[in-house]
Amino acid sequence: MDSQLLPVLLLLGALGPWGQGQGPEGSSEELLEEPPEEVPREDGILVLSRHNLGLALREHPALLVEFYAPWCAHCKALAPKYHKAATLLAAASIPATLAKVDGPAEPELAEEFGVTEYPTLKFFRDGNRTHPEEYTGPREAEGITEWLRRRVGPSATRLEDEAGVQALVGAHDVVVIGFFQDLQDEDVATFLALAQDALDMTFGLTDQPQLFQKFDLTNDTVVLLKKFDEGRADFPVDKKRGLDLVNLSRFLVTHSMHLVTEFNSQTHPKIFAARILNHLLLFVNQTLAPHRELLTGFGEAAPPFRGQVLFVVVDVAADNDHVLRYFGLKAEAAPTLRLVNIETAKKYAPVDGEPVTAASVAAFCRAVLTGHVQPYLLSQEVPPDWDRRPVKTLVSKNFEQVAFDETKNVFVKFYAPWCAHCREMAPAWEALAEKYKDHADIVIAELDATANELEGLAVPGFPTLKYFPAGPGRKVIEYKGTRDLETLSKFLDHGGELPTEPTEEPGAPVPESPANSTAGSKEEL
């Protein structure tokens, strides 16, 4: 063989047939492509691809990467905030860098990092490509900046003297100070880890004996200082078990909130994050002076229930119609109280006509907590024409007598007026009712589950279809088939069962079954 041809043949062998195979070191593209000299930027944000991600990780030890899609509305909304965060990081000299990846254009990277939705943000530290940290902070510029600041620097300020404490406390509404006699103790690591994510509070720590004395402390303690309500709350560190992260987190959320919180778009995330199961709501019209005067007594009743009951004010004159509907109220009912347990969804109401005073509010809370008040269920009034149409109208007050009539087979659609899936299947449901309207033993009905509650009957999503067959035993069968007239009819004709499709002859190919169309309801709740 001609020695001059050998390098050429070796190269062709490495490329494989048609020049497209892979050699031992990867594809020809990887072999021949020059490594990037630098990573491009747009508005201060690195633009990453599969070719330059490695370089970016080597050059930037603290890298937050947004995986986005150009068509994603949430990504478009985040874009100016992300750009502002890059500006804030640079202005504050925080050693962290922002980057972005077009997920659909870089499917290899999206797959490598398990990206299934957009936007997804991941934090890479010290070039570690295999274990990025999920971004858990808020999606606004200041929150992104603070989240990163607490990861690349200390999450708590070291306090050496009283002047440092006063400066920290004076600059913030809520300050959490960890008093630890030994700053190398593992409890300090627990404290600092919590401080990384509690972005709505400012953290400090100290081991100085004079500061222990100033705050009348002899043992390790976490102290929350605030410019409202009682001003201070202490969380002693258990000497045997150490600092419990879950209990400390719950303590800080509970005591960092005002005794009385007004419900609005800014406060509602924190209200539900507080992990206090009982919420007492005072519905008032804040434009009316007599209603505003009730807030004093409401607040006076709150301190003994701190941690047990969250006191919330709902202004019926603001955009809170959804809250009123949840409790079955109209704005004209204000002022009034309602208590809800957010775990059981049970709702409680005081005696009608009782004035809202500190004493009456406290008495109502105690009565609910001790089981002396029965929960109420939402129910509309029974319409006078509820049974005149082919589809019968059910509410809480007539549901029992209709659904559990032992002489009838009752098929009920539980729906929400705003649910797109419910609207989509409405024609098939109407057609079903029309088809069986002359069957004396079959009832096709519907119930608005957002305005009517039923004891012991779960409605996990909309629409939910349940079949109540005739006979004793109060049997309930949940329908899980497709929502077309033909399949619904087969279900009824076979007594609440879908007939089994005939099997194919041996050796015949088995067709792929159609996807079940009943999924996807919960996300509309």
**Of 341, 455, 339, 347, which is closest to residue 396 (Cα–Cα)?**
455
DSSP for residue 127:
T
Alpha carbon 381 to its chain's center: 34
What is the CB neighbour count within 10 angstroms for residue 29? Answer: 10
- Cβ contact 224:191 at 8 Å: no
Q: 289 vs 86, 276, 282, CA distance in Å?
A: 46, 30, 15
**At residue 463, what is the residue type?**
P
Distance (Å, rounded) from C-alpha 40 to C-alpha 43?
10
DSSP for residue 173:
S
Distance (Å, rounded) from C-alpha 9 to C-alpha 7?
6
CA torsion sign, 123 to 120 to 84 to 272? negative
Distance (Å, rounded) from C-alpha 12 to C-alpha 286?
81
- Cβ contact 476:467 at 8 Å: yes
Please classify residue 115 by burial: count the beta carbons closer than 10 Å to its beta carbon, then call 0-12 exposed, 13-18 middle and 19+ buried.
Answer: buried
What is the CB neighbour count within 10 angstroms for residue 109? Answer: 18
Note if the bond before 35 is cis, omega within 30 degrees.
Answer: no
**Of 124, 136, 75, 65, which is closest to residue 99 (Cα–Cα)?**
65
Token match 């005591």: residue? Answer: 255
Token match 């509690």: residue? Answer: 198
- Cβ contact 162:214 at 8 Å: yes
- Cβ contact 63:151 at 8 Å: no
Q: 218 vs 82, 180, 237, CA distance in Å?
A: 45, 10, 11
What 3-state DSSP class applies to 250? helix
- Cβ contact 236:221 at 8 Å: yes
Active-site amino acid positions: 72, 75, 419, 422
Distance (Å, rounded) from C-alpha 24 to C-alpha 197?
45
CA-derived radius of gyration, the chain: 32
The count of residues in the chain is 525
